[in-house]
Structure 1
Amino acid sequence: MDDHLLAGRYRLTSLLGRGGMGAVWHARDERLDREVAVKELRLPERLTEEQRRTWSARLDREARAAARLKHPGIVTVHDRITGEDGRPWIVMELVHGRSLADLVEAEGPLPPHRVAQIGLQVLDALRAAHRAGITHRDVKPANVLLESQRVVLTDFGIAAVDGDATLTRTGAVIGTPAFMSPEQVRGLEAGPASDLWSLGATLYAAVEGRPPFDGANTGAVFVAIATEDPPPAVRAGALGPTIMALLQRDADRRPTGEQLRAGLAHLAQEPAVAPAPAAGPAPPRRRRGRPVLIATAVAVALALTAAVAVSAFKLRSDAERDQAARDAYRALTEPPGPEKSMDEVATGELAVTYELCPGTEKCDVAGRVTATMQWLAAQNGVRVVYPPAEMADCGTREGCLISVASPSLTGARIVQSDDRLLLRVFVRAPR
């Protein structure tokens, strides 16, 4: 089909990529003299007429969904045309770059800060779509395009658009199995939190080199997503807690877009590069012919000396960590209640207890939890504050946990004790 003129205007020049139901061509808009990408719908002959209409409607939906969005992180749709055989085509901007999937395949796992940079731009694109009432429903590395420092989200073919009649049969599951959220796997309605789960799976794949869930077949992948926790992201470093929070099976426990953006913005910063050590004098050459007994004795002496030195250093560094934890505690702004106690729970980690309310029956527990989260978010160095899984648990003796991404705060727990509502903040020495 090379050099084919489509709609008397778009001349196809080369094939850019092909999928199960379509292909993307490099083309030239001869009317405006510009390069474009043209998406072709290719359907197998065995499909029924109803199935053909459904797939054509999905391509139309992609054009409408993307055309409603004006954002630098979302591919721009220029036109929707019909070919000579009646099939729809979409004319889009041409993104000069490769997909995130291609990059990982070519270079292997990416550095965490680079993955955070990519995730931040994809998140901004998703939030723009969500504000416009559009859920993407197919966020994955293959749909993330990289053009120099620009990151572009593409392929809104199965997007859910508010106000549009759904094209999906009740209970049907559509998407890419390894990157589908648990609710999509169960055939439930997908929403913004579903896109954030898929973003988490995309970031996991980028930093680990593989998706968070795998299996011998699609059914096995679905079962794993619906029932299991993903393996820890061992290469993710500081990005790991954010990825794992996004991959929560319970959509209500995932961070919001606003919370996620604060964390990714911090993690996307370039890591400091340590200066190369200065070149020193060449080590002295060993004298040969020394007796083995002497060499062994020297080695034992050195080992004992090293052990003593390490022990002394450990004691000194433990004391330094304890002091650093207390310094971090003193750096907290005025807490939301009077301090009751400060206990050392581990070397370099303190648990500070505050009283939020003298009696839980007269206390607005939800209000105190909200105020506590706001207070935690205002502390120096705090990147993200994750709300408790169940707000109702905060007024019980078991309590609820508020997670924090911070170099000096590991989290906070709100519990009921002796009819009082207490806040325990866990402070550690900054790394």
Structure 2
Amino acid sequence: MDNDHGQLLANRYRLGRLLGQGGMGAVWCAHDEQLGRDVAVKELRLPGHLGEAERQNWIARLDREARAAARLKHPGIITVHDRISGSDGRPWIVMELVDGGSLADLIETHGALTPQRAAVVGRQVAAALGAAHRMGITHRDIKPANILLEEERVVLTDFGIAALEGDATLTATGMIMGTPAFMAPEQVRGLPATAESDLWSLGATLYAAVEGRAPFAGTAPSAVLVAVATEPPIPALRAGVLGPVLDGLLHKDPAARLTMDQLQAQLNEAAALRSPMAGRVAFVPPTMPAWSPAVRQPAADPAAGPGSAPRRGFSRRTKLSMAALMIALAAGAGFIANQRDDDNSTYKANRSTANALPVPTGFSQQTTSRTDQNWAQVTYTWPDPCVNHCANQIALVTEWMRRQAGVAQVDTLGAEDGGCLTDQHGCPIWITQVPSYNNPTLQAAELQTRGNRLSFRVDVGR
């Protein structure tokens, strides 16, 4: 009960502040008076209406949590010190105190994480899961609330419904255990949870970290379960470098999901990539529009080795100029070749991705057309005349582009100054793609005012 504050457990642990509580338990900060250290203690709270068999089942489940965590020695897994009983017979688990809040708390307080930060968290959780799986333990309830953060350390906790290899199940037949929005489809269907189920849940957790919400939604838990089992995830808008990881983990078929080794490799790559605005790749376009005599040059990243620069996205005009220059140098002739790819399947894939893009806030979608590169070009229009060189609208579309999957960096090249908006070709936007992202994504964009109304064109391809 909440008035347990100050209670002395096992003549040793003095209860302090309440750290958190749920329907069947609570976690307290306590002081170990024998060793002079602070610890966390978890009590089991059982409703009075439960029968004796149900009470014993929940007590056994808490004991299993203690056994599961106690078998594991890993910096990313909560350390269990003891299992004790209170004066009223209620069981308690004594654990190390990780006093930094959970990933769920962080998301709620500060909003979604950057993809790179989420990747750093994810690879520590993956390492902890790998240690548990090697010991024959499946967690079965990976979610943001069960991931604790303490400075740079990430700790997996709450093995309350973990499945221990060789341990008899404590779950009643037909009973689904877990948190609906983060459960794997096979768990929803009542099949045994496996290591692959934990990987799905980690994928759903990382999705929530970068999007600020779970990948499946519904008006009731039952609706969420149906969505998990039968529907694709809600499209991620902010995944960035983490997009391939989410795609690889959120497969309905467990056999199609990333293996632990593949996951660790992809998370390491995503975590190592610098944030989109932290560094630049040195590049000077071969032709400069007349309105920009001094286009900003992105600074070189001294930490980047040979071949480490991400793919670059340029405007169509720049691409055609480069192509013409290379052809002239190679062939010694003044002609331009038509390099259009007639592969309709490629265009269909690009168009499908383009049509699935959310419309930028305040804009309306006008047309989708095919480019010479077999990309799909979508045109969005701002309905009203804009002022101050459309600076507010440019900020909106810039942030929108940065949130799209596969986009690592966006540079407006001074479009906010407005000098290029009335140019024949408008203002080109420089887009850098995530190197490992293989699905269609934003390649180039242009801004232009027509009749004092802003037109925003974006090319989608790969």
TM-score by length of 1: 0.67
Distance 1:124 1:51, change over 3 A: same
Corresponding residue number in structure 2 for 1:173: 176
Distance 1:318 1:36, change over 3 A: farther
Residue range with higher mean Cα deviation, 73-82 or 227-236: 227-236
Corresponding residue number in structure 2 for 1:187: 190
- Secondary structure of the equivalent of 1:268? helix
Q: CA deviation at 1:319?
A: 6.5
Corresponding residue number in structure 2 for 1:45: 48
Corresponding residue number in structure 2 for 1:250: 253
- Cα pair 1:69 1:128 within 8 Å, conserved: yes
The aligned amino acid for 2:64 is R
CA offset digits 1:191-240 (Å, max 9, x no partner): 00000000000000000000000101011001100001102211001211
**Alignment of structure 1 residues 272-311 onto 2, 5 Å:** 273-274=277-278
Q: Does 1:316 align with 2:321?
A: yes
Question: Which runs of 5 or more structure 1 residues have no equivalent in the other structure?
Answer: 277-300, 303-308, 323-342, 350-404, 412-430
Corresponding residue number in structure 2 for 1:115: 118
- Secondary structure of the equivalent of 1:110? coil
Q: CA deviation at 1:344?
A: 9.0
Q: CA deviation at 1:170?
A: 2.3
The aligned amino acid for 2:194 is G
CA offset digits 1:269-323 (Å, max 9, x no partner): 25154569xxxxxxxxxxxxxxxxxxxxxxxx98xxxxxx97642412556999x
Q: Does 1:240 align with 2:243?
A: yes
Q: Does 1:219 align with 2:250?
A: no
User: Aligned equivalents of 2:161 and 2:215: distance in 1?
Assistant: 22
- Secondary structure of the equivalent of 1:231? coil
Corresponding residue number in structure 2 for 1:5: 8
Distance 1:97 1:310, change over 3 A: closer
- Cα pair 1:234 1:240 within 8 Å, conserved: no
Which of 71, 84, 87 pairs up with 2:90? Answer: 87
TM-score by length of 2: 0.63
- Secondary structure of the equivalent of 2:16? strand
* Superposed structure 1 runs of 4+ greater than 6 Å apart: 319-322, 346-349
User: Aligned equivalents of 2:183 and 2:436: distance in 1?
Assistant: 34
User: Aligned equivalents of 2:186 and 2:260: distance in 1?
Assistant: 18
Corresponding residue number in structure 2 for 1:61: 64
- Cα pair 2:240 2:434 within 8 Å, conserved: no
User: Between the two proteins, what is the percent identity of the paired residues?
Assistant: 63
User: Aligned equivalents of 1:179 and 1:311: distance in 2?
Assistant: 42
User: Aligned equivalents of 1:220 and 1:18: distance in 2?
Assistant: 25
The aligned amino acid for 1:154 is T
User: Aligned equivalents of 1:22 and 1:60: distance in 2?
Assistant: 13
Distance 1:142 1:408, change over 3 A: closer
Corresponding residue number in structure 2 for 1:294: none
- Cα pair 2:243 2:437 within 8 Å, conserved: no
| Greater fraction helix | 1
Distance 1:409 1:148, change over 3 A: closer
Distance 1:244 1:34, change over 3 A: same
User: Aligned equivalents of 1:4 and 1:99: distance in 2?
Assistant: 26
Q: Does 1:157 align with 2:157?
A: no
- Cα pair 1:2 1:14 within 8 Å, conserved: yes
Corresponding residue number in structure 1 for 2:435: 407
Q: Does 1:207 align with 2:210?
A: yes
Distance 1:82 1:408, change over 3 A: closer
User: Aligned equivalents of 2:6 and 2:436: distance in 1?
Assistant: 61
Corresponding residue number in structure 2 for 1:293: none
The aligned amino acid for 1:83 is G
Distance 1:275 1:165, change over 3 A: closer
The aligned amino acid for 1:407 is P
Paired residue total = 308
Corresponding residue number in structure 1 for 2:27: 24
Which of 201, 205, 216 pairs up with 1:198? Answer: 201
Distance 1:274 1:49, change over 3 A: closer
User: Aligned equivalents of 1:232 and 1:102: distance in 2?
Assistant: 23
Question: Which runs of 5 or more structure 2 residues have no equivalent in the other structure?
Answer: 281-289, 292-313, 328-340, 347-371, 375-432, 440-461
Distance 1:228 1:318, change over 3 A: farther
- Cα pair 2:41 2:95 within 8 Å, conserved: yes
Corresponding residue number in structure 2 for 1:378: none
User: Aligned equivalents of 2:233 and 2:323: distance in 1?
Assistant: 34
Distance 1:310 1:134, change over 3 A: closer
The aligned amino acid for 1:25 is W
CA offset digits 1:138-182 (Å, max 9, x no partner): 000000000000000000000000011110122210011110000
